[in-house]
């Protein structure tokens, strides 16, 4: 999401370590302290099924631990980050208005840089941390190249996956790269588009294209080099200059977000859409939002992959309650429900081999849906660029095309 200059200030403030702060290592004390607290969970609110899942999780922790969860629905996570920063600037170092926040990427980088996160290592002290798949999912401890240092707890895995309706589009005609997608758009003008940045899905499309086209991909694992930035991103914007006249409404307007793209696929306005969830198409079919002829595909040389997290602001009012909710979100029960495409379809971050037999069997029996590619069919996972890149290419996109919408 597009960051303000305040969030991108070059100076780094240390992460605040509070004396006597709530300690996840003393879990019995956390449970006592959490009872009766209200956790204001700031999370993207643009998906009905995700909102329903959060309500379910809130009901569960209320019944079991006496913690009330209130979802603060965001259209841009940067707004919550800006709230915490404003409170810090005003000296409000306690009783903050944000208790838990759904973050990754540049939002995590900004909060870490500005000292806006609760003390390090809380995530690794959670009772359910031992179930996390550290070995096979290294992004649970590294967020867009930045070490998490226990400042955020993994919630779900993500891969960029494309969807199409096989009743209208032949599989043999599907693109296998960003360059192929441009050719597809030329052959089918008006039937592809992407959400306008700073929408996360739209910005992810830009990163996918840049990752494929940049001359030196290793540069993306480091902060932007101001001297070479324009040269580095020139292939991306040359590509977009060709693509935009071929888009839905000729690039004069853009889909609002993924749900809007999904509706346009269902209505036949778009032939190809994409999401950061391999089970999203199956979830849409199960919910009656997409026809059962929708299927998934990826580029054979790879698509972006990452992990999304929850973080606790340094000045949260309900730190203990936030810890309880974060730990519950890592439980096999919550992770299984989240991976069910009829509920959400978000892949788990747990190592299934660490689970009890009944939990492992439940995951094995889960029907991922007719449109969900199995893990072995997802192809290589491309590394997310350093958060600096997303911020800079969003700003450059807005400067070049922002007036279009």
Q: Phi/psi of residue 233, each to 5°? A: -95, 0
Q: Please check whether residue 264 lies inside any domain of the structure.
A: yes
Token digits of residue 134: 């550290």
Query: What's the pLDDT tens digit per position in 255-285?
Result: 999 999 999 999 999 999 999 999 999 989 9
Q: Phi/psi of residue 168, each to 5°? A: -115, -30
Q: Please check whether residue 377 lies inside any domain of the structure.
A: no
pLDDT at 11 over 50: no
Same domain, 269 and 200: yes
Q: Please check whether residue 2 lies inside any domain of the structure.
A: no
Q: Please check whether residue 11 lies inside any domain of the structure.
A: no
Average pLDDT score over residue span 66-84: 96
Same domain, 251 and 211: yes
d(CA 80, CA 59): 23
pLDDT at 171 over 60: yes
Q: Phi/psi of residue 139, each to 5°? A: -70, -5
pLDDT at 212 over 60: yes
Q: What pLDDT sits at residue 19?
A: 37
Same domain, 269 and 311: no
**Domain span at 246:** 161-305+382-404
Q: 244: how many CB neighbours lie within 10 A of its CB?
A: 17
What is the residue whose two structure tokens read 């990754």?
104
Mapped onto helix, strand or coil, the DSSP state of residue 300 is coil
Same domain, 192 and 204: yes
Q: Do 349 and 186 form a contact (C-beta atoms < 8 A)?
A: no
Q: Do 307 and 156 form a contact (C-beta atoms < 8 A)?
A: yes
Average pLDDT score over residue span 364-373: 92
Which residues lie across from 38 on neighbouring strands?
A: 68
Same domain, 117 and 256: no
Average pLDDT score over residue span 362-380: 90
Q: Phi/psi of residue 307, each to 5°? A: -120, 145
Same domain, 46 and 138: yes
Residue-wise DSSP of 72-138: EEES-THHHHHHHHHHHHTT--SSBS-SEEEE-THHHHHHHHTT-BPPTTTGGGSGGGGGB-TTT-G
pLDDT at 405 over 70: no
Q: Do 257 and 147 form a contact (C-beta atoms < 8 A)?
A: no
Same domain, 250 and 387: yes
* Cβ burial 189-213 (10 Å sphere, 16+ → b, else e): eebbbbbbbbbbbbbbbbbbbbbbb
For residue 173, give the CATH number of its domain. Answer: 3.40.190.10
Same domain, 136 and 226: no
CA 368 to chain centroid: 20
Same domain, 150 and 171: no
Q: What pLDDT sits at residue 403?
A: 57
Which of 21-25, 63-67, 285-289, 376-380 holds the top average pLDDT? 63-67
Q: Phi/psi of residue 295, each to 5°? A: -135, 170
Q: What pLDDT sits at residue 72?
A: 98
Query: What's the pLDDT tens digit per position in 125-166?
Result: 999 999 999 988 889 999 998 999 999 999 999 999 999 999
Same domain, 227 and 116: no
Q: Please check whether residue 250 lies inside any domain of the structure.
A: yes
Q: What pLDDT sits at residue 262?
A: 97
Token digits of residue 135: 């070995």
pLDDT at 379 over 90: no
Q: What pLDDT sits at residue 376?
A: 79
Query: What's the pLDDT tens digit per position in 175-197?
Result: 999 999 999 999 999 999 999 99
Cα-only R_g, the chain = 21
Token digits of residue 288: 């009656």
Q: Please check whether residue 15 lies inside any domain of the structure.
A: no
Same domain, 172 and 268: yes
Total of domains in the chain: 2
Mapped onto helix, strand or coil, the DSSP state of residue 60 is helix
Q: Please check whether residue 315 lies inside any domain of the structure.
A: yes
Give the contacts of 238 (CB within 8 A, at least 6 positions apart).
none
Mean pLDDT rounded to a whole number for the chain = 92
Q: 110: how many CB neighbours lie within 10 A of its CB?
A: 26
Same domain, 271 and 391: yes
Q: Please check whether residue 352 lies inside any domain of the structure.
A: yes
d(CA 40, CA 171): 45
Q: If DSSP states are collapsed to H, E and C, what string results for 6-21? A: CCCCCCCCCCCCCCCC
pLDDT at 14 over 60: no
């Amino acid at each position: 999401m597009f960051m303000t200059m305040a969030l991108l200030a070059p100076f780094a403030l240390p992460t605040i370590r509070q004396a006597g702060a709530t300690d996840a290592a003393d879990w019995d004390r956390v449970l006592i302290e959490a009872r009766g607290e209200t956790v204001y969970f700031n999370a993207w609110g643009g998906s009905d099924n995700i909102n329903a899942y959060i309500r379910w999780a809130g009901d569960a922790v209320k019944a079991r631990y006496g913690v009330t969860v209130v979802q603060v629905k965001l259209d841009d996570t940067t707004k919550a980050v800006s709230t915490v920063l404003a409170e810090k600037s005003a000296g409000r170092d306690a009783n903050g208005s944000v208790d838990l926040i759904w973050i990754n990427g540049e939002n995590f980088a900004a909060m870490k840089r500005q000292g806006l996160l609760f003390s390090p290592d809380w995530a690794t002290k959670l009772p359910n941390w031992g179930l996390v798949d550290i070995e096979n999912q290294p992004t649970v401890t590294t967020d867009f190249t930045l070490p998490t240092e226990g400042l955020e707890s993994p919630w779900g895995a993500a891969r960029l996956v494309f969807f199409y309706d096989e009743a209208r589009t032949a599989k043999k005609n599907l693109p296998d790269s960003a360059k192929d997608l441009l050719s597809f758009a030329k052959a089918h003008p008006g039937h592809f588009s992407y959400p306008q940045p700073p929408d996360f899905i739209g910005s992810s499309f830009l990163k996918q294209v840049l990752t494929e086209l940049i001359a030196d991909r290793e540069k993306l694992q480091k902060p932007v080099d101001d001297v070479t930035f324009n040269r580095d991103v020139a292939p991306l914007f040359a590509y977009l200059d060709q693509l935009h006249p071929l888009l839905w409404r000729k690039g004069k307007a853009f889909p609002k977000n993924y749900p809007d793209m999904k509706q346009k696929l269902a209505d036949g306005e778009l032939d190809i859409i994409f999401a950061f969830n391999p089970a999203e198409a199956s979830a849409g079919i199960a919910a009656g939002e997409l026809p059962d002829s929708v299927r998934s595909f990826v580029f054979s040389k790879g698509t972006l992959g990452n992990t999304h997290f929850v973080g606790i602001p340094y000045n949260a009012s309900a730190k203990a309650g936030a810890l309880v909710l974060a730990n519950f979100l890592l439980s096999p029960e919550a992770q299984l429900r989240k991976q069910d495409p009829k509920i959400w379809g978000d892949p788990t971050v747990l190592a299934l081999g660490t689970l009890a037999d009944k939990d492992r069997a439940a995951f094995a029996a889960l029907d991922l849906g007719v449109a969900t590619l199995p893990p072995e069919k997802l192809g290589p996972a491309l590394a997310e660029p350093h958060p600096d890149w997303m911020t800079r290419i969003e700003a450059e996109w807005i400067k070049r095309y922002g007036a279009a919408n």
